[in-house]
């Protein structure tokens, strides 16, 4: 008996639900719930983690991210302007920098700054400076490319209008082109902030002191203490507390940009 199109859709959909229900039942029967809960979400441990996981770890994650982002943004803008310069050596320097730092792992940069520089130059950088540079140097390379694309996306007529009003090249860039470029690159820059939030976990390599722990380090430390995955899950959820709203913001900004066109 041939099925109509609607009947066939219903059968396919029905069997998909049936499969799902079956899997859920099997997992529910097989799993050792007590143990899983102890491993992943031990309420006692969660209570123990607070408030330090917020006041120290989350705060430090945000602080490190902002340090890296701030440095990366300024350096990225500078690199973008160098990349667009009419003086060839500036362009070469910018291109070399961008290609280098986009091409090597961020981990390597952390090792170089955290261990390489102190050993080779026999001087210890301030911890916060190390964090800012490690996160910012790589971030700057990505942000430079984003900002450069943003500057180039501003129509040439904007510069021409500014120049025809007597503005110098620099003034036209500062007052007219860069503000418009930043509106264009706000969504990708926010994405960069999300990536940096996650990359800030690499700071854990640097062997910081207790008060300087960020989420990953804090979770790792608590993991050793409690022999439970709970701290890692809590740390993960706290990353989401930062990254999910930012991701939502990116989509709203993108929608706004799309509407403005």
Output b/e per residue, 241-256; b: 16+ Cβ within 10 A: ebeeeeeebbeebeee
Q: Which two tokens stand for residue 1?
A: 């008996």
**With respect to other proteins, which residue has the nearer C-beta, 16 or 175?**
175
**With respect to other proteins, which residue has the nearer C-beta, 88 or 166?**
166
**What distance in Å separates the CA atoms of residue 156 and residue 91, rounded to the nearest whole number?**
20
**With respect to other proteins, which residue has the nearer C-beta, 179 or 207?**
179
**What distance in Å separates the CA atoms of residue 174 and residue 153, rounded to the nearest whole number?**
15
Q: Least distance in Å: CB of 176 to other proteins? A: 6
**With respect to other proteins, which residue has the nearer C-beta, 183 or 198?**
183
Q: Least distance in Å: CB of 160 to other proteins? A: 6
Q: Least distance in Å: CB of 77 to other proteins? A: 17
Q: Least distance in Å: CB of 9 to other proteins? A: 45
Contact set with other proteins (CB under 8 A)? 155, 157-158, 160-168, 171, 175-176, 179-180, 183, 260
Element at 110 (helix H, strand E): helix 106-111
Q: Which two tokens stand for residue 218?
A: 């804090």
Give me the DSSP letters along 69-87.
HHHHHHHHHHHHHHHT-SS
């Amino acid at each position: 008996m041939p099925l109509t199109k609607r009947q066939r859709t219903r059968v396919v959909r029905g069997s998909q639900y049936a499969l799902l229900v079956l899997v859920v039942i099997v997992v529910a029967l097989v799993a050792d719930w007590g143990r899983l809960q102890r491993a992943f979400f031990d309420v006692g441990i969660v209570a123990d983690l607070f408030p330090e996981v917020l006041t120290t770890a989350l705060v430090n994650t945000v602080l490190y991210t902002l340090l890296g982002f701030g440095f990366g943004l300024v350096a990225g803008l500078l690199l973008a302007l160098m990349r667009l310069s009419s003086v060839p050596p500036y362009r070469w320097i910018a291109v070399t920098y961008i290609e280098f730092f986009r091409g090597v792992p961020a981990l390597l940069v952390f090792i170089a700054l955290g261990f390489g520089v102190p050993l080779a130059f026999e001087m210890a950088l301030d911890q916060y400076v190390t964090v800012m540079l490690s996160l910012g140097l790589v971030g700057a390379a990505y942000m430079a490319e984003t900002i450069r694309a943003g500057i180039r996306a501003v129509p040439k007529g904007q510069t021409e209008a500014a120049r025809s009003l007597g503005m110098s090249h620099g003034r036209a860039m500062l007052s007219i082109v860069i503000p418009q470029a930043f509106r264009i690159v706000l969504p990708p820059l926010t994405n960069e902030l999300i990536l940096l939030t996650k990359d800030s976990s690499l700071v854990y390599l640097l062997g910081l002191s207790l008060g300087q722990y960020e989420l990953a380090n804090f979770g790792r430390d608590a993991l050793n203490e409690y022999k439970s995955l709970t701290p890692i899950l809590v740390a993960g959820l706290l990353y989401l507390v930062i990254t999910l709203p930012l991701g939502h913001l990116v989509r709203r900004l993108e929608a706004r940009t799309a509407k403005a066109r």
